Amino acid sequence: MYRQVFQEEAMVKYIGKKTLMIIPVMLIVSIATFGFTSMATGDPAQIILSASGIKVTDEAIALKRAELGLDRPLYVQYTDWLNDIVHFNLGTSYVTGQPIIKALALRFFNSLKLAALGLLFLVMLALPLGILSAVYKGRWIDKFCKALSFISAAFPAFCIGLLLIYIFGVKLKVISVIETEHGWGIVLPAFTIAFAHLGVYLQLIYSGMDDVLNKDYIKAAKAKGLKTRIVIFRHALKNAMLPLVTKFGLTVGGFIGGSTVLEIVFSYRGLGTYIMDAINTKDYPVIQAYVILMALLLALINLIVDVIYVAVDPRIELS
């Protein structure tokens, strides 16, 4: 009883400590983001005037800079911008003149849908195939998984995407390749992004399972007459999956952040194409908001991964 209470208190302190560590990280990210965008070429006032169709003159630029507060010292601009970020005010797009938070939320939701389906495909394919490859080492299923890993690693994701578009969208016409954010159209980009990571996960699961299956306690469990599936799922799988926890967390962040090339290939309106458009048009507030969002997202994912790792493996000290 006391041990359980102590563990719960230690876990709460551990989560609190890890959460507090996010604050200085985000502060450093904000300084770097604001600094680099401030040093970038291109006058924001001129960009806004050009996007609005207003004649660009020195006087108009000076007035717009004063309106935006760009004539103030850099540290004042940063503190005002940081204050807005803390209060969830991400600013206004230079190009569209619309609040960034609305467009970013829409694109984030699209990327979240794509990531969720892509992760589902990845788990459904990698987990059973990786386990089978290790259990039936040297058999045909193992050779098939090795070949699949090679194809996944050898072919760029956009090549697989273009091939799927040609087969299912052009030839068979079973899936729309234009309306990709809705309906069945999201299946192709989700499967493509999953397949691009399949080879790595097959190898990780195979290596983990192969190592665990040769442990003495697994051999002892088999010697006691336990069924193979019980040995695998109750004893081997838990320990074999530990190295995958960190990798999976990074994959989640990458999926949500968006694969820009794949989004362009499938004309998918996610975060990847959103930030590329902002870079091309030098829409600095959008770039700043995107970087802050992704940094916070990755920090939270890392926090969740750390907590899961500790929960799964009680041998790790909560320090």
What's the number of domains the chain is made of?
A: 2
* 111 or 53: which leads in pLDDT: 111
Say which range, 53-67, 146-160, 173-187, 240-254, has the weakest mean pLDDT: 173-187
Nearest-CA neighbor of 197 among 113, 110, 119?
Answer: 119
Containing structural domain, residue 16: 1-95+283-319
- Average pLDDT in the 17-27 region? 89
Do 239 and 262 have their domain in common? yes
User: Looking at residue 235, what is its pLDDT?
Assistant: 66
Give pTM, 2 decimals.
Answer: 0.81
Nearest-CA neighbor of 116 among 48, 168, 190, 32?
Answer: 190
Q: Is the predicted pLDDT of residue 28 greater than 90, yes or no? A: yes
pLDDT in tens, 107-155: 888 888 888 899 899 989 998 898 888 888 888 998 999 999 999 888 8
Do 67 and 205 have their domain in common? no
Do 233 and 143 have their domain in common? yes
- Average pLDDT in the 287-296 region? 90
On whether the CB atoms of residues 239 and 212 are closer than 8 A, the answer is yes
Do 68 and 136 have their domain in common? no
Do 125 and 87 have their domain in common? no
Q: Give a yes or no: residue 179 inside a domain.
A: yes
Phi, psi of 176 (to 5 degrees): -75, 135
Do 274 and 287 have their domain in common? no
Do 145 and 265 have their domain in common? yes
Cα gap 34→75, rounded to integer Å? 10
Do 70 and 147 have their domain in common? no
Q: Give a yes or no: residue 272 inside a domain.
A: yes
Do 80 and 113 have their domain in common? no
Place of tokens 């660009």: 56
User: Looking at residue 6, what is its pLDDT?
Assistant: 53
Q: Is the predicted pLDDT of residue 5 greater than 60, yes or no? A: no
Q: Give a yes or no: residue 273 inside a domain.
A: yes
SS3 92: strand
Do 195 and 310 have their domain in common? no
Task: Indicate which CATH number applies to the domain containing 158.
Answer: 1.10.3720.10
280: Cβ contacts below 8 Å, ≥ 6 apart: none
Q: Give a yes or no: residue 100 inside a domain.
A: no
On whether the CB atoms of residues 194 and 200 are closer than 8 A, the answer is no
Alpha helices in 87-236 (DSSP H): 100-135, 140-154, 157-164, 187-213, 216-223, 228-230
User: Looking at residue 157, what is its pLDDT?
Assistant: 82
Confidence of residue 317 (pLDDT cuts 50, 70, 90): low
